[in-house]
Structure 1
Amino acid sequence: MAKYVDGFVITLPKNKISEYKKMAKMGCKVWMDHGALEYVETVGDDMNPPYGTPFPKLAKSKSNEVVIFSWITFKSKAHRNQVNKKVMADPRMQMDGKTEKDMPFDMKRMSYGGFKTLVEQ
């Protein structure tokens, strides 16, 4: 059964990984509570591939930054839209007076998009 995926690439200062991890754990709980099928946050580890464009170059990350690659899986695009609507209305997602400057990463450098499944097993 084909699924729908929201994908994210974030450049994060290395000294903010633990702060981001706390935020990601809360995000995971919220998305899963509202029906996401899967929520995954990964941190760059092997970033020097022998071919292609390395993620740090693609994300224009600096030497003191690491790339976060994440995805959330849904039943369909309609399911994703329903879940995300609930997530955005959830009080746990409110910034409580915080601004983008209070985030552990620069939101303007985050890449995000919805993806249709091409191949799946």
Structure 2
Amino acid sequence: MTYIDGFVIAVPAGNRDKFIEHARTADPVFMELGATRILECWEDDVPDGKRTDFRRAVEVQSGEKVVFSWIEWPDKATRDAAMAKMTEMMGTDPRMDPAKNPMPFDGARMIYGGFAPMMDEGGRDGAYVDGFLAAVSEDGRDAYLDHARKAAPIFAEYGATRVVEAWGDDVPDGKRTDFRRAVDARDGERVVFSWIAWPDKETRDAGWAKMMADERMAGPMPFDGARMVYGGFRPVVEL
């Protein structure tokens, strides 16, 4: 079964090109170790929230932008083996050496974790991505998945090219930031990492307007929508 590593990062706006260069240098290592897909997506339409949002998730400072990224693996075993190998490569492969390919962002505020896909509908990712984080009760997993399965074909009807929902599996606590804090997760809740891909922003904007007016989307959400984190991003690195 496929597996996903999700990331959210705060990057100084002036380091955008450095971030792209860093990712284009380091990301091929993941592909060599078995990853099947990598996207690095730069903030485009990321709103401030009342309780939670992407900026708070990574403690964004003045002049920083949010990056929403993920790595897809054929299975968790391949991912775990790759991460172990990556540790060994830190001092031997210049692509993974912080001294030779330094991170153009504060790694202490990066949030990351492993997620098991529950649903993956559609084909390839498009030129625009809506990223989401949500806190869902462990007992509410089936209800959440049922809700997502009903919504996915409607998104596709309005132009979305891919809808992915992934359940928190290996999501560590961080010293400053982490996925659980990002959605103010409580005891008995898991973090869901998901995205909707669109062919372009225009289709996305029109699609959301139609979704909001569609009676098929009416009804209660099986999670606390007030703690859901969301925003629109443009891919800048794609492997």
Bucket of the pairwise TM-score, normalised by the shorter protein: 0.7 to 0.9
1:112 lines up with 2:236 in the alignment: no
Q: Shift of the alpha carbon at 1:106?
A: 1.0
Q: Shift of the alpha carbon at 1:49?
A: 7.3
- Any idea what SS the aligned residue of 1:61 has? coil
**Conserved? CA contact 1:2–1:120, under 8 Å:** no
Amino acid at match of 1:83: G
Larger radius of gyration: 2
Q: Shift of the alpha carbon at 1:76?
A: 1.2
State the partner residue of 1:39: 163
- Any idea what SS the aligned residue of 1:82 has? helix
Consecutive unaligned residues in structure 2, runs of 5 or more:
1-124
State which drifts further: 12-21 or 51-60. 51-60
Q: Shift of the alpha carbon at 1:32?
A: 1.0
Distance in 1, matches of 2:217 and 2:198, equals 19
Q: Shift of the alpha carbon at 1:50?
A: 8.6
Distance in 1, matches of 2:153 and 2:195, equals 14
Distance in 2, matches of 1:25 and 1:2, equals 20
Consecutive unaligned residues in structure 1, runs of 5 or more:
96-101
Q: 1:53 to 1:87 in 2, by over 3 A?
A: same
Distance in 1, matches of 2:162 and 2:176, equals 28
CA deviation vs aligned residue, 1:34-87 (integer Å, no higher than 9, x gap): 210101111101112799843123322122000011100011111101111222
Distance in 2, matches of 1:2 and 1:51, equals 34
RMSD: 2.2
1:28 lines up with 2:28 in the alignment: no
Distance in 1, matches of 2:216 and 2:180, equals 31
State which drifts further: 81-90 or 17-26. 81-90
Distance in 2, matches of 1:2 and 1:20, equals 24
State the partner residue of 2:221: 103
Amino acid at match of 2:234: K
| TM-score with structure 1 setting the length | 0.83
Distance in 1, matches of 2:202 and 2:176, equals 33
Distance in 1, matches of 2:153 and 2:202, equals 21
Q: Identity across aligned pairs (percent)?
A: 37
Moved over 6 A (4+): 49-52
For this pair of structures, how many residues does the alignment match? 115
Amino acid at match of 2:218: Q
| TM-score with structure 2 setting the length | 0.44
State the partner residue of 1:98: none
